[in-house]
Amino acid sequence: MHGTAVPTDGFTYGLVTPVAAFVMAVLGSALGLRCTVRALPLARSRRAGWLTLGAVAIGSGIWTMHFIAMMGFTAHGVRIGYDARITFASLAVAILVVGIGVFIVGYRGRTVPALIGAGVITGLGVAAMHYLGMAGMRMPGHLTYAPVTVALSVAIAVVAATAALWFAISVKGVGPALGASLIMGVAVCGMHYVGMAALSVHAHAHAGSATGQSPTEILAPMLIGPLVLMLFVGLIVGFDPMSRGEQRRRESGAAMDELGTPAWSHRR
């Protein structure tokens, strides 16, 4: 049984959900990229903590963006629910896969192969989170996707994630850092809405009218955990005592360590 295609609406609440989703994507990206940049001048043995925080921030940000956007998604006459295990599994996948990309940049630096590899993996992490999250939807019907549009959504995520990582670690200053966060936000939101454009919902016969909890009532409680994670990362970034002078010393020390120069040789 193929079911009957039903009209869908990704903007049930107008611009409220897309704008809120974009803000969360930019915020998570800003925190994550900031953590990644802070890790680079440190000695290799000390980078893992900041890179892990970066992965948590970006992963939580894109996951939160996705499900805020999904609050605005409805299918005519179809009750939509979400499997909690698969939904939270998509959060774990986002953090894990994005983390791989962040660690590549953190330990391989600004080389072209590292940036391309990290961008591809990070973009694929965004796409994996999206489609796994969609697989967690429960309804009296099923979903189908247009393959070409799905491929386009993945390409958007990969290209924009690569550009964001390049901006974040290659161009210094507040402006480029903000630009990198905005690019990453566009990557996540663009991937999401292009992916949703590939979607068709087919309701089963005699599915009945939509009843029970709305997507907002189901998803809102699930967002608490990732929002707390982002707040935790934000507090660490905000209260990190590293001054500009210490930053210069760390950069100098990290550079000397990379060259194999004894640490005492550049101390006063």
Q: Which residue has the higher pLDDT, 176 or 224?
A: 224
| Domain-embedded: residue 1 | no
| Domain-embedded: residue 191 | yes
pLDDT for res 2: 63
3-class state of residue 203 by DSSP: strand
- Domain range for 104 is 7-266
| Domain-embedded: residue 170 | yes
Count of structural domains within the chain: 1
Q: Which residue has the higher pLDDT, 221 or 265?
A: 221
First to last CA, the chain: 77
Q: What is the mean pLDDT of residues 53-64?
A: 89
pLDDT for res 34: 85
pLDDT by residue (tens digit) across 156-215? 989 888 888 887 777 666 677 788 888 888 888 999 999 999 999 998 866 554 444 556
pLDDT for res 201: 92
pLDDT for res 173: 65
pTM to 2 decimals?
0.80
pLDDT by residue (tens digit) across 140-158? 888 999 999 999 999 998 9
| Domain-embedded: residue 180 | yes
| Domain-embedded: residue 62 | yes
| Domain-embedded: residue 2 | no
DSSP string, 172-228: -SHHHHHHHHHHHHHHHHHHHHHHHHTEEEEEPTT-----S--HHHHHHHHTHHHHH
